[in-house]
């Protein structure tokens, strides 16, 4: 377990994130410049152990027929949020890959920033499983819900 | 049912597609210019009733750490292929939206074109359900498998 | 919306359940005696609007190789919990049917009662979407997580 | 790879099943008597390498409101079929466990036997991924479609 223990709460271990937001942003700039670059519109708003929040700035390129944000825009954001959540729990594992992702689209998103709230439900030796809830900025009702599994190659060696 | 019946095979109806490849390409240019434009790299290779094939030209922007094509590139292609498959079965329904999509990533894709083979398993009044198998061009082993459900608003009225 | 409004909290409507636990138990006895009968081991522990908790008493028939509770036992409980959650939100709709269910198995369950905590994320005119978290009694770490969609036929008429 | 190579077809290896139907039935009787016993109604109709077919005899206990076979009955059959398919590819691995299962219900099943046609899409060192199509006996249109992932503990050691 890469996280640093910082306390105890209700019988569970409170862990500090394995990497903080600045460390993760620096890592992403280095290893994934296609997705994470200055002006890409992705902002790491909050990084705790196994729980992170990412904002995706609105851009009209994301629109699809009906004036709503496209499904792939939401899937990409959720997948990215899971990737960051994995780093928050197990540290720098850029070769972690999604093995399964399932999304339910719940409501038509507004033409506004998207917020992704990702939480890992399991951090195993080889697999991490989590859920991501997506919101339109300023709304409390989710626009989509995702569950995903990441395979962590470094942990298996 | 928008498809035009053209014969019978093994007790099931053989239907012509509701829209052919040229008609679908024209529709996409009009209603979804963000995704489908000259040079976008998406090619409708085959359109039958409820069964279509799309090629996504390789571009190095799709790469992620490890030198493999990113998950969101594959999810976007699968979602697009389902959208086209819905048109092939029920005609021009640009406001059809994905309600659920589940993807399993099976193998590391090559740095090559991606082929999406989409097939609808159900064409209902309100929902269409299908599966999409993704291949690297020239390989017979799938790199990913998707199931997805589309909601068809025009059919519900 | 079948729920009865009982207050307001943080800008969202607080609704009473459309049916309470006793009303739902009575309904299930009538319409689904194969699943819900005296001694079946299913207990409706809590019913709020769109949020319910069900207990499944442990029985050694649920075990599979490895001494763990079988996957189908957990899938059946989650599907049942969603069914009850739909009743809590839209009332007596026994012909509501699952259209999609996706489960991630997270940890080996104990040889103990299973607790299902179900929450609807969307209650639409035709579809309800929710998530169910399963626990072994006495443990805080989930053994499985489910998302599911129900089609509500009565609501479409 | 436990399968025994028996030929080549279209550039892919043709493999004999690691265990045949009789060997799998014998194994199931020993390790999973709760699910597989004389009179249980499950019949292994066909076992090839990574591709199997199972029949579930109809029983009125499987009915749910609306006179249709319940979702959990179909999920249990699909999960069982995947378990057998894993044995057909990697041999006796009774501790293989489902990590993820996703089902789409497509049509109302008849009050008839259910047929499960399972095919593995990937047989990896640690994970097997497959799809299962369910039919009502005598019908060509599927009643449900499942994708599932099994974790193979013996293979990881």
Res. A8 pLDDT band, cuts 50 70 90:
very low
Q: Token pair 């009662």 is at which residue? A: C113
pLDDT of residue D154: 62
pLDDT tens digit string along A96-122?
999 999 999 999 999 999 999 999 999
- What interhelical angle do A21-31 and A71-90 show, nearest 10? 120
Which residues 42-81 in chain D show a CB within 8 A of chain C?
61-66, 68, 70-72, 75-76, 79-80
pLDDT tens digit string along C58-103?
999 999 999 999 999 999 999 999 999 999 999 999 999 999 999 9
Token readout for A84 is 């960051």
- Residue A97, CA distances (Å) to A24, A56, B36, B104 in order: 16, 21, 28, 11
Helix (H) or strand (E) holding A84: helix A71-90
Exposed (0-12), middle (13-18) or buried (19+): which is B61, by Cβ within 10 Å? exposed
In the predicted model, what is the mean pLDDT of residues A128-147? 98
| Prediction pTM value | 0.92
Whether the Cβ atoms of residue A111 and residue A69 lie closer than 8 Å to each other: yes
Single out the residue of C116, C36, C104, C115 nearest to residue C71, CA to CA.
C104
User: Which chain C residue has its CA at the smallest distance from D64's CA?
Assistant: C32
Question: What is the 8-class DSSP label of residue A54?
Answer: E
pLDDT tens digit string along A57-69?
999 999 998 999 9
What ipTM goes with this model?
0.90
pLDDT of residue C1: 39
Mean pLDDT (chain A) is: 90
pLDDT of residue B9: 44
Whether the Cβ atoms of residue A63 and residue B96 lie closer than 8 Å to each other: no
Single out the residue of B99, B146, B68, B102 nearest to residue A101, CA to CA.
B102
Whether the Cβ atoms of residue C103 and residue D100 lie closer than 8 Å to each other: yes
| Torsion angle in degrees (nearest 10) through CA of D91, D97, D100, D101 | 70
- B121–chain D Cβ distance below 8 A for any pair: yes
Q: Which of A147-156, C3-12, C50-59 has the lowest mean pLDDT?
A: C3-12
pLDDT of residue A131: 98
pLDDT tens digit string along D88-116?
999 999 999 999 999 999 999 999 999 99
Neighboring chain B residues of D78 at a CB cutoff of 8 Å: none
Single out the residue of B55, B124, B44, B53 nearest to residue B89, CA to CA.
B124
State how far Cα A52 lies from the chain centre: 6
- What sections of B36-157 are H helices per DSSP? 71-90, 153-156
Judge: B103–A102 Cβ closer than 8 Å, yes or no. Answer: yes
Residues pairing with A48 in the sheet:
A51
Chains that touch D (3 or more CB pairs under 8 A): A, B, C
Q: Is the dihedral of CA D35, D38, D40, D42 positive or negative?
A: positive
Helix (H/G/I), strand (E/B), else coil: C78: helix
Q: CA C34, CA D156: separation in Å to the nearest integer?
A: 41
pLDDT tens digit string along C93-130?
999 999 999 999 999 999 999 999 999 999 998 999 99
Neighboring chain B residues of A101 at a CB cutoff of 8 Å: 71, 75, 102-103
How many other C-beta atoms can be found within 10 angstroms of the C-beta atom of residue A66? Answer: 14
Judge: A66–B101 Cβ closer than 8 Å, yes or no. Answer: no
Share of chain D above pLDDT 70, in %: 89
pLDDT of residue A101: 98
Neighboring chain C residues of D94 at a CB cutoff of 8 Å: 65-66
- Which of D100, D126, D156 minimises the CB distance to A149? D100
pLDDT of residue B154: 62
**Total residue length of chain C:** 157
pLDDT of residue A154: 62
Mean pLDDT (chain D) is: 91
- B122–chain C Cβ distance below 8 A for any pair: no
pLDDT of residue A11: 44
Neighboring chain A residues of C131 at a CB cutoff of 8 Å: 131, 145
pLDDT of residue D3: 52
Q: CA C130, CA A6: separation in Å to the nearest integer?
A: 34
In the predicted model, what is the mean pLDDT of residues C42-47? 97
In tens digits, what is the pLDDT along chain B, a chain of 157 residues? 345 554 444 445 679 999 999 999 999 999 999 889 999 999 999 999 999 999 999 999 999 989 999 999 999 999 999 999 999 999 999 999 999 999 999 999 999 999 999 999 999 989 999 999 999 999 999 999 999 999 998 644 3
Q: Is the dihedral of CA C56, C62, C65, C70 positive or negative?
A: negative
pLDDT of residue C154: 62
Of residues D3 and A82, the one with the higher pLDDT is: A82
Res. A3 pLDDT band, cuts 50 70 90:
low
User: Which chain A residue has its CA at the smallest distance from C104's CA?
Assistant: A129
């Amino acid at each position: 377990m890469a996280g640093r223990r910082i306390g105890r709460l209700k019988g569970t271990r409170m862990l500090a994130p394995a990497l903080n937001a600045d460390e993760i942003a620096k890592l992403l700039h280095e290893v994934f410049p296609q997705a994470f670059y200055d002006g890409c519109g992705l902002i790491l708003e909050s990084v705790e152990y196994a729980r992170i929040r990412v904002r995706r700035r609105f851009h009209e390129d994301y629109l699809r027929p009906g004036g709503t944000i496209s499904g792939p825009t939401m899937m990409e954001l959720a997948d990215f949020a899971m990737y960051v959540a994995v780093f928050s729990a197990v540290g720098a594992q850029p070769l972690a890959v999604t093995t399964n992702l399932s999304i339910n689209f719940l409501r038509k998103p507004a033409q506004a920033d998207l917020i992704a709230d990702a939480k890992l439900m399991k951090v195993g030796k080889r697999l991490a499983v989590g859920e991501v809830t997506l919101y339109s900025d300023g709304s409390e009702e989710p626009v989509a819900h995702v569950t995903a599994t990441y395979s962590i190659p470094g942990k298996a060696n």
